[in-house]
């Protein structure tokens, strides 16, 4: 693979670490800042909503810009945002810092997906996207467990100091290995917006939102699930997040390879797997051996969906790849926010932690139905055209 893919992986590693490490530090942040677990969980929703807002706005502004220049600028925003997180002294400032950091997220992965597919052969496009996202999955196998351990032993702010240091390294790699380009000289914004208004693109974004809402309804609260329901000590959280990260890596690569062979099969199959795994959380949350397996499988099934979901939208909006790709990253994070928010409601006003798995299974089942309906409509449209 070209060195550009590995430069993108470094940036993805930093972004993945700062996005996911907070899940393992909810209890530390809650105690230190004097807020509830569900309020600490809203820091995840705030980040996700920042991605959802920032991705399309920055992507429109970036259409005429050099992709290389924009990627370096976005990692600069990432660095500043994490620095503010490390310096935050109260909940409000931390929330603001999380939102600032999130502005880099969607557009980085949006532009990065386009760059990744442009530097490889046609039959490697989904795999190239998967490899870029491997930086995010490696964050979960290395960055997040280490960041969680660091935060538990030296305070959660130390984690953000460590993450801040990744930014300059990523900027250097991007400047050295990403091909130089001059951006688009002519941009028809109306045509770009028209391309993403197609029904297949909109349904693809909806599948992404719903599918990842299911993942984050569970993953946001994985720490209290394991300590409260499974009765595991807090010291086990970091090793189990490592196990989750292994699932992400294998699931992400598997999803990318399968999507290059059969996109529809990869999309539906990964969502069905996610439905089954999610439901199992409500059935086996008191069995620590089963939970070890399910933590791995949640990572595998959840991130096996990423390459097919991203390719699904890219292929549906080929005339507006950067904007469509960034919007799909925004859709991932809208799903993250809705999942964290919905999970908080279930905990505070519903059946509690034990019901999160069943609720997530219902949500991912909806994503399966939307996928099947969209595919059926596409087949019907082709048959009409043949006539």
- CA-CA distance, 91 to 30, in Å (whole number)? 9
Q: Residues 248, 344, 202, 320: is their CA dihedral positive or negative?
A: negative
What pTM does this model have? Answer: 0.75
pLDDT at 184 over 90: no
pLDDT at 318 over 80: no
More confident of the two residues 1 and 130: 130
- Model confidence at 92, in pLDDT bands (50, 70, 90)? very high
pLDDT for 332 equals 83
pLDDT for 191 equals 67
Q: In b/e form, how buried is each residue of 326-346, taking b as 16+ CB within 10 angstroms?
A: bbbbbbbbbbbbbbbbbbbeb
DSSP code string of 54-113: HHHHHHHHHTTS-HHHHHHHHHHHHHHHHHHHHH--SHHHHHHHHHHHHHHHHHHHHHHH
pLDDT for 183 equals 62
Which structure tokens are listed for 334?
A: 């809208």
Residue-wise pLDDT for 35-74, tens only, equals 888 788 888 878 878 887 887 788 777 777 888 999 999 9
pLDDT at 82 over 90: yes
- CA-CA distance, 304 to 40, in Å (whole number)? 28
Which structure tokens are listed for 10?
A: 């470094």
Q: How big is the CA angle at 41 (ends 38 and 46), to the nearest 5 degrees? A: 125
Q: Residues 71, 73, 74, 75: is their CA dihedral positive or negative?
A: positive
Q: What is the mean pLDDT of residues 141-161?
A: 90
- Model confidence at 95, in pLDDT bands (50, 70, 90)? very high
In angstroms, what CA-CA distances link 4 with 71, 79, 117, 126, 152?
12, 20, 11, 15, 35
Most confident of 81-85, 136-140, 200-204, 313-317: 81-85
> Tokens 């197609």 identify what position?
198
Residue-wise pLDDT for 370-387, tens only, equals 999 988 877 666 655 555
- Model confidence at 329, in pLDDT bands (50, 70, 90)? confident
- CA-CA distance, 383 to 387, in Å (whole number)? 6
pLDDT for 207 equals 93
Mean pLDDT of the chain, nearest integer: 86
More confident of the two residues 261 and 318: 261
Count each helix (H run) and each strand (E run) in the chain, helices first. Answer: 18, 0
Instruction: Burial-class residue 324 by CB neighbours within 10 Å (0-12, 13-18, 19+).
Output: buried
Instruction: Burial-class residue 348 by CB neighbours within 10 Å (0-12, 13-18, 19+).
Output: exposed
Of the ranges 8-17, 125-134, 267-276, 289-298, which one carries the lowest mean pLDDT score? 125-134
- How many C-beta atoms lie closer than 10 Å to residue 85's C-beta? 26
Provide, for the chain, the percentages of residues in helix, strand and coil under a 3-state DSSP scheme, each rounded to the nearest 5: 85, 0, 15
Q: Which helix (H) or strand (E) holds 348?
A: helix 321-349
Q: Residues 46, 48, 53, 55: is their CA dihedral positive or negative?
A: positive
């Amino acid at each position: 693979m070209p060195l550009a893919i590995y430069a993108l992986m470094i940036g993805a590693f930093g972004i993945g670490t700062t996005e996911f490490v907070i899940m393992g530090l909810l209890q530390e942040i809650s105690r230190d800042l004097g807020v509830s677990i569900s309020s600490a969980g809203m820091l995840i929703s705030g980040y996700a909503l920042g991605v959802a807002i920032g991705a399309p706005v920055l992507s429109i502004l970036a259409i005429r810009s050099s992709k290389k220049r924009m990627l370096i600028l976005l990692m600069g925003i990432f660095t500043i945002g994490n620095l503010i997180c490390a310096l935050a002294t109260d909940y409000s400032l931390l929330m603001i810092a999380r939102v600032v950091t999130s502005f880099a997220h969607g557009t980085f992965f949006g532009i990065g997906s386009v760059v990744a597919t442009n530097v490889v052969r046609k039959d490697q496009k989904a795999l190239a996207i998967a490899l870029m996202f491997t930086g995010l999955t490696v964050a979960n196998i290395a960055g997040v467990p280490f960041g969680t351990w660091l935060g538990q032993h030296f305070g959660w702010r130390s984690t953000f100091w460590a993450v801040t240091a990744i930014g300059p390294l990523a900027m250097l790699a991007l400047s050295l290995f990403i091909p130089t380009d001059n951006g688009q000289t002519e941009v028809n914004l109306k045509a770009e917006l028209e391309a993403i208004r197609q029904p297949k693109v909109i349904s693809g974004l909806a599948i992404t939102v719903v599918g990842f809402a299911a993942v984050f309804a569970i993953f946001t609260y994985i720490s209290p699930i394991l300590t409260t329901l499974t009765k595991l000590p807090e010291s086990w959280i970091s090793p189990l997040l490592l196990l989750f990260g292994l699932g992400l890596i294998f699931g992400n690569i598997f999803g990318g390879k399968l999507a290059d062979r059969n996109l529809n099969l990869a999309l539906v199959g990964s969502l069905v797997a996610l439905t089954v795994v999610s439901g199992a959380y409500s059935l086996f949350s008191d069995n620590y051996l089963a939970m070890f397996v399910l933590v791995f499988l949640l990572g595998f099934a959840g991130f096996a969906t990423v390459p097919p979901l991203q390719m699904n939208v890219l292929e549906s909006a080929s005339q507006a790849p950067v904007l469509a790709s960034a919007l799909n990253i925004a859709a991932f994070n809208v799903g993250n926010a809705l999942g964290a928010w919905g999970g908080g409601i279930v905990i505070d006003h519903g059946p509690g932690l034990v019901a999160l798995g069943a609720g997530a299974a219902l949500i991912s089942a909806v994503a399966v139905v939307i996928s099947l309906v969209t595919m059926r409509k596409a087949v019907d449209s082709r048959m009409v055209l043949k006539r």
